[in-house]
């Protein structure tokens, strides 16, 4: 993937509630973006819709993503989904460690294990990081640094280069409060400096960074142009093909 092109991923979360709606949404995204060449696009529907959504976007530039994965491939693990199953359905990206999953108990160790499994099978992990609140002293930077360090502990430079990091400040998710483009730029520089300290500049430069948190058609252009990141992870606005496409177009 060329880093000059943004990656825009739609995280549908627990939506929509019927297969028909999921299928129509996927068809809409595929239709509106069938000629796209200057951005990478992916949609992450709930597991039960992956197969149908995969069919709707097949032979189009839109890729398939999953919202989570288990760290084991097969066996007695009721309710889990493995990377081999995802791969078989044509999934290319896997969101890992979203704050909504971390809120249910997923920890840095779980995240690292999942990332290792996804990389092993040559899919691309999108690892979510981000603080729950901002403070004047800047402790939120330490929090983000800790999340990156804990991920980096288990990853060699060549592996880290294949990871996509999604900075999603929890206070901006689904709240309509967006980080300013300045906040995003500051975080981009900070994350790159942390990666440079842990690895080296070449590795840091290779890691693709996304911003997520109330990205909408009206703020996407500024966030993209001045935020310095390489794409977006979009929640609510990815549920309307038109809004999602407007966000994609804002990156071109």
Instruction: Work out which of 209, 233, 241, 250 binds ligand 13P, going by CB under 6 A.
Output: 233
Using CB under 6 A, which of 212, 241, 243, 245 touches ligand 13P?
212
User: What is the DSSP annotation of the chain?
Assistant: --TTSEEEEEE-TT--SSHHHHHHHHHHHHHHTTT--SEEEEEE--GGGHHHHHHHHTTSSEEEEES---SS-SSS-TT---HHHHHHTTEEEEEES-HHHHTTT--HHHHHHHHHHHHHTT-EEEEEE--S---TT-HHHHHHHHHHHHHHTT--HHHHTT-EEEE--GGGTTSS----HHHHHHHHHHHHHHHHHHS-HHHHHHSEEEEESS--HHHHHHHHHHH--SEEEESGGGGSHHHHHHHHHHT-
Given 213, 230, 231, 245, the residue binding ligand 13P (CB under 6 A): 213
Applying CB under 6 A, does 11 fall inside the site for ligand 13P? yes
Nearest 5°: phi and psi at 167?
Answer: -85, 110
Q: In the complex, what is the shortest distance from the CB of residue 92 to ligand 13P, in angstroms, rounded to a whole number?
A: 17
Residue 138 is a binding residue for ligand 13P (CB under 6 A): no
Binding mask 166-205 for ligand 13P (x = CB under 6 A): --x----xx-------------------------------
Instruction: List, in order, residues 6 or more apart from 180 with CB less than 8 Å away.
Output: none
Q: What is the closest distance, in whole angstroms, from the C-beta atom of residue 70 to ligand 13P in the complex?
A: 19
Query: With CB under 6 A as the contact rule, which of the stretches 33-41, 81-89, 185-193, 229-237 interacts with ligand 13P?
Result: 229-237
- 125 part of the interface to ligand 13P, by CB under 6 A: no
Residue 124 in contact with ligand 13P, rule: CB under 6 A: no
Positions 16 through 75 that interact with ligand 13P (CB under 6 A): none
Which one, 198 or 223, has the nearer CB to ligand 13P? 223
Among all residues, which ones are annotated catalytic?
98, 168
215 in contact with ligand 13P (CB under 6 A):
yes
234 binds ligand 13P (CB under 6 A): yes
Footprint on this chain of ligand 13P (rule: CB under 6 A)? 11, 98, 168, 173-174, 212-215, 233-237
């Amino acid at each position: 993937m060329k880093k000059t092109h943004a990656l825009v991923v739609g995280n549908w979360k627990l939506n929509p509630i019927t297969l028909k709606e999921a299928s129509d949404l996927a068809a809409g995204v595929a239709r509106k973006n069938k000629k796209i060449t200057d951005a990478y696009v992916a949609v992450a529907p709930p597991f039960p819709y992956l197969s149908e959504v995969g069919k709707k976007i097949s032979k189009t530039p839109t890729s398939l993503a999953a919202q989570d994965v288990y760290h084991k491939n097969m066996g007695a693990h009721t309710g889990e989904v493995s990377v081999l199953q995802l791969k078989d359905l044509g999934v290319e990206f896997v969101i890992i460690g979203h704050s909504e999953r971390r809120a249910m108990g997923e920890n840095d160790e779980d995240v690292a294990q999942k990332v290792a499994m996804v990389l092993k099978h040559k899919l691309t992990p999108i690892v979510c990081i981000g603080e729950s609140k901002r403070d004047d002293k800047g402790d939120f930077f330490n929090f983000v640094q800790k999340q990156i360090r804990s991920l980096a502990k288990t990853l060699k430079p060549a592996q880290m280069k294949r990871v996509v990091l999604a900075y999603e400040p929890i206070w901006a998710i689904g709240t309509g409060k967006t980080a300013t483009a300045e906040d995003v730029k500051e975080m981009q520089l900070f994350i790159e400096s942390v990666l440079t300290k842990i690895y080296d500049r070449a590795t840091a430069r290779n890691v693709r960074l996304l911003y997520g948190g109330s990205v909408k058609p009206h703020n996407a252009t500024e966030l993209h142009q001045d935020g310095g990141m390489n794409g977006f992870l979009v929640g609510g606005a990815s549920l309307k093909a038109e809004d999602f496409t407007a966000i994609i177009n804002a990156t071109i």
